[in-house]
Amino acid sequence: MTILDEARAWAERDPDPDTRDELQALIDANATDALQERFSGTLEFGTAGLRGLLGAGPNRMNRVTVSHATAGLCAWLLHAVPEASTRGICVGRDARPKSDVFERDVIEVAAGAGIPVFVFTDLVPTPMLAFAALRLRTAAGVMLTASHNPPGYNGYKVYWENAAQIIPPNDAGIARQMAAAATKPIARMPLAEARAAGLLREIDGLREEYVAAIANEVAPSPDRAPLRIAYTALHGVAERTLREVLSRGGFDEVLSVAEQAEPDGRFPTVDFPNPEEPGAMDRVLALGDAVRADLVIANDPDGDRVGAAARGDDGFEVLSGNDIGVLLADDLLQQTEAAQPLVLSTVVSSPMLGRIAARHGARWEQTLTGHKWIQNRALELEREGYTYVFGYEEALGYAPSTQVRDKDGISSALRLADLASRLKSRGKTLLDARDGLWREHGFFVDRQVSVRFEGANAQSRMRSVVDRVRANPPKRVGGIPVVRVSEPDSTLLVFELEGGHRAMLRPSGTEPKLKYYFYAAGCVDEDGDLEAAKATTRSLLERIADDLTATSDC
């Protein structure tokens, strides 16, 4: 078949008039390059599911792709999970374009396979869907979201029966069944029939259960000082839930960026709705200055990540993902009474967590990148007698509660507010607490560099950069000898440098970005001059970063 024939065949079975019109326009214009981008491959199960640009064709997120994915998921569930046909799946959605339509497709296809579906009646943050999967003990969960990706993306995130994100072999099993589903008709049951048959059940009561469960983990303390918080949801779905959780937790003075408070998948005031991205927090930082807030908090659009800034002597300082991670870890380890406490982080996160864990007598493990690995490994270790306390990845993803077996930007925001208020009662800030950890444990300053790739072959081009560096690894980076090269997985290269420094690169699993991670280790000398130590170590970090990014020449 020619590319035009493929496009016509797809259009014939596409139930969505928007994507049919898109294809017809491209066919009429003989736009073979644009069609090639849409039909040159298929979306693959990556970080816990599918994520891609909205549009027509197998290499885009659309109703056909979602229907195939759901048919594949259901077939694999019936094969792999006992009582899947009675335990069912739960489904949630965010505010991105087509999320509502995709949710209906998931329900109709699952019901057509005889699998009950538990569904929220309105938009929910991703952590609430993960909470529902755990509370209801469903066979799986599906969240329609592209998290922090730019406008134009959507995604299909899958949780397994343990309420954690899918890992092998289940991701591969679903993918095989998805490919098989693309070759045959898919049974569907309309919503009204599914409801009448008892296969569609609403679960809105779980909203209140989530709020109560998260808020009750942080008891109001007499050691707190009043805290003023400036907040933004970045046009996402976390605002309502975060406010309820903070209020239950004793924090009522929360001032929002009004123009970013309502869910809007077009993200009209921000190019990249990710608190990590330069400029994404500009409006909430300005609000924080205007209202003299103590703490600035930003969730990403589906509420599973959180960014923060604390007021210092020269205004607000944005905390890095690792800053937040080590602050929360140290605080939670101080509070735990567990005999065998456990903390986890990913291989691209700061090694500083290992030093903090050792001080508290906790077990620390590093996993591959992503909370799917953190939580599945935590569940294994819990069966060995360890008590999970905290897990994090440097990309603003923190999991401080076993009520959600995934990162949760809402519960993490509450924990940050609680810590900040207790510090304020002693005349301290989160910045003071971070500096205290650095003085005690030494520190790893970190920097991340992201190089965005565009076009249908973005993934292959990113992999080729990694392959090129793998084939000819540098012997020195920034003038420092490389003492070890490791590959924790097929996409990640890690360079251990003399002196405890580290450089890494990998393609992102959720965005068309090649990501570099750099850590430089430092310590405070006998005179205690932390600022001088920071400056020296940061200068070294910049040298390492500049050298590797230039060497890999992406």
* pLDDT tens-place string over residues 149-163: 999 999 999 999 999
The pLDDT value recorded for residue 456 is: 63
Token reading at 87: 């335990």
- Is 157:48 a contact under the CB 8 Å cutoff? yes
The catalytic position among 40, 67, 85, 147 is 147
pLDDT at site 548: 93
CA separation for the pair 191, 140 (Å, rounded): 20
Inter-residue contact 268 to 150 (CB < 8 Å)? no
95 in Cβ contact with 154 (< 8 Å): no
Handedness of CA 192, 195, 199, 203 (dihedral sign): positive
* Rounded Cα gap, residues 330 and 349, in angstroms: 15
The H-or-E segment that residue 30 falls in is: none
Alpha carbon 387 to chain centroid, angstroms: 23
pLDDT of residue 1: 81
User: In angstroms, how far is CA 314 from the centroid of its own chain?
Assistant: 31
User: How far is residue 507's CA from residue 90's CA, in Å, rounded to a whole number?
Assistant: 30
Predicted structure pTM score: 0.94
Listed in order, strand segments (DSSP E) in 220-327 are 229-232, 254-256, 295-299, 306-312, 315-318
Burial per residue of 358-382, b for 16 or more beta-carbon CB atoms within 10 angstroms, e otherwise: eebebbbbbbbbbbbbbbbbbeebe
As to burial, measured by CB atoms within 10 angstroms (0-12 exposed, 13-18 middle, 19+ buried), residue 90 is: buried
DSSP 356-415: HHHHTT-EEEEESSSHHHHHHHHHHHHHTT-EEEEEEETTTEEE--TTSSS--HHHHHHH
Torsion of CA 302, 513, 397, 351, to 10 degrees: 180
Per-residue pLDDT in tens (0 to 9) along the chain, 554 residues: 899 999 999 999 999 999 999 999 999 999 999 999 999 889 987 667 999 999 999 999 999 999 999 999 999 999 999 999 999 999 999 999 999 999 999 999 999 999 999 999 999 999 999 999 999 999 999 999 999 999 999 999 999 999 999 999 999 999 999 999 999 999 999 999 999 999 999 998 999 999 999 999 998 888 999 999 999 999 999 999 999 999 999 999 999 999 999 999 999 999 899 999 999 999 999 999 999 999 999 999 999 999 999 999 889 999 999 999 999 999 999 999 999 999 999 999 999 999 999 999 999 999 999 999 999 999 999 999 999 999 999 999 999 999 999 999 999 999 999 999 999 999 999 999 999 999 999 888 899 898 888 776 777 888 888 889 999 999 999 999 999 999 988 889 999 999 999 999 998 877 778 999 999 998 876 667 888 888 999 999 999 999 999 876 65
Residue that has been written with the tokens 């900040």 in this structure: 420
Residue from 160, 137, 148, 16 nearest 77 by CA: 160
Provide the residue type at 346 as one letter.
T
- Domains delineated in the chain: 41-205 (3.40.120.10), 227-317 (3.40.120.10), 321-427 (3.40.120.10), 442-552 (3.30.310)
Cα separation, 241 vs 472, whole angstroms: 49
Q: Is 460 a catalytic residue?
A: no
Its sign, for the CA torsion 7, 12, 14, 16, is positive
**Tokens 């050792």 correspond to what residue?**
358
